[in-house]
Amino acid sequence: MAKKYRIAWLQGDGIGKDVMEAAKIVLDRVQLDAEYIPGDIGWEFWRREGDAFPQRTIELLKSVDAAMFGAITSKPVKAAEKELDLKLQGKGLVYRSPIVRMRQLFDLYVCLRPCKAYPHNPLNFKENIDLVMFRENTEDLYAGVEFNTVPDKLRDTLIELSPPFKAFKSLKSDEYAISCKINTKKGSERIIRAAFEFARKFKRKKVTVIHKANVVRATDGLFLETAKAVAKDFPEIAMDDANIDAIMMWLLKNPLNYDVLVAPNLYGDIASDLCAQMVGGLGFGCSGNIGKGLAVFEPTHGSAPKYAGLYKVNPIATILAAKMMLDWLGEVKPAQAIEAAVAAVVREGKARTYDMGGTTTTLEMARAIADKC
């Protein structure tokens, strides 16, 4: 009989494999009626095929209800080219992060990152932290419009259009590089609206808009102005804003003063790791990449190559990502069961992975959580 859900299962590289195996133990325990379909993604496919996100995986994602993703290894363009199979070298293949491509291709514009301190976690920076980050996921400095070697035509246009650019006039084309920060009104508005709608739905009190509009005036100015306009539709929710540098300090100083946060892509990426660290570190940072038709859930962390295959790292981030997937699918009861089990295991303190000061392995932690589901 056909299962209720088709879930793409993208393990990726390094500890992506370890933590996904752990998450599967928990999903099996809550008996989600799903077929899990493995998909190829990551470094080995770049090396062998020159594509870390092969077309067959793109097709798979078009056919599923949701996806779980572990992590991938990314390297700078030149280092990546050197690792290509010899027969692919010199063909002009350019490495791009598959997760960034996936977010753009499927328009997964919301990156939702809850950061909640589960009581008695020895790693909590403070008890009661309960922050929710909304990171714009498709544009900004991650738009992918970059020039390692700047074409003369682009240089000449920039000199013509932008007086400060004259400072770079004397440089040769390979002596500088350009990465474009591109933010649209539509892209800003939909992530900001998503943050406010979440705040309304879950009776949150405040949305804080992160930017650097005093210096990065064009793009961050647009983001901030858009936020002020959107906020008018949500009079019951307070809005404030802060520069990315200042909020790094304020979040550490007074994390309980913050509630829902919304940021353009890069600042959201940076602030999410800080928020994750305040509630236990990357081993607790879970994430959903959410679009209109598809959502892909993953831990915030990367492939941590030095721990790959050791079954040492903390799977809770990925288990909580699976919980987010269940919420998104409308499977609220098993989602609640998983979160309650995580909270109970953390509270008891018997199972602790190395990052929590213990010796529990990745899969033992998953089984401890599954046993409480």
Residue written as token pair 């981030």: 317
Nearest approach, Cβ of residue 300 and Mg ion (Å): 6
Nearest approach, Cβ of residue 312 and ligand NAI (Å): 8
For the chain, what's the residue count?
373
**What does the longest C-alpha to C-alpha distance in the chain come to?**
68
Would you say 119 or 357 has its CB closer to ligand NAI?
357
> Among ligand NAI, Mg ion, none, what does residue 222 contact (CB within 5–8 Å per kind)?
none
Which one of 18, 136, 269, 339 is in contact with Mg ion (CB under 5 A)?
Answer: 269
The helix (run of H) or strand (run of E) holding residue 188 is helix 185-201
Judge whether 277 and 125 are in contact, CB under 8 Å.
yes
- Single out the segment in contact with Mg ion by CB under 5 A; choices: 137-145, 180-188, 262-270, 312-320: 262-270
CA 350 to chain centre: 29
> Among Mg ion, ligand NAI, none, what does residue 243 contact (CB within 5–8 Å per kind)?
none
Would you say 18 or 269 has its CB closer to Mg ion?
269
3-state helix, strand, coil in the chain (%, to 5): 45, 20, 35
- Single out the segment in contact with Mg ion by CB under 5 A; choices: 194-202, 231-239, 264-272, 309-317: 264-272
Query: How many residues at the interface with Mg ion, by CB under 5 A?
Result: 1
> Among ligand NAI, Mg ion, none, what does residue 39 contact (CB within 5–8 Å per kind)?
none
Would you say 91 or 306 has its CB closer to ligand NAI?
306
Nearest approach, Cβ of residue 244 and ligand NAI (Å): 18
Residues at the interface with ligand NAI (CB under 6 A): 19, 71-74, 99, 282-283, 298, 301-304, 306, 313-314, 317, 355
Q: Check binding of 298 to Mg ion (CB under 5 A).
A: no
Q: Helix or strand or coil: residue 162?
A: coil
Write the CA distances from 255 to 105, 128, 136, 251, 364, integer angstroms.
Answer: 34, 9, 21, 5, 32
CA distance 34 to 2: 9
Judge whether 178 and 162 are in contact, CB under 8 Å.
no
Closest residue to Mg ion, judged by C-beta, is 269
Residue written as token pair 């906020």: 231
- Single out the segment in contact with Mg ion by CB under 5 A; choices: 44-52, 54-62, 139-147, 269-277: 269-277
CA distance 62 to 233: 34
Q: Helix or strand or coil: residue 42?
A: coil
- Single out the segment in contact with Mg ion by CB under 5 A; choices: 77-85, 124-132, 229-237, 266-274: 266-274
Residues near Mg ion (CB under 5 A) are 269
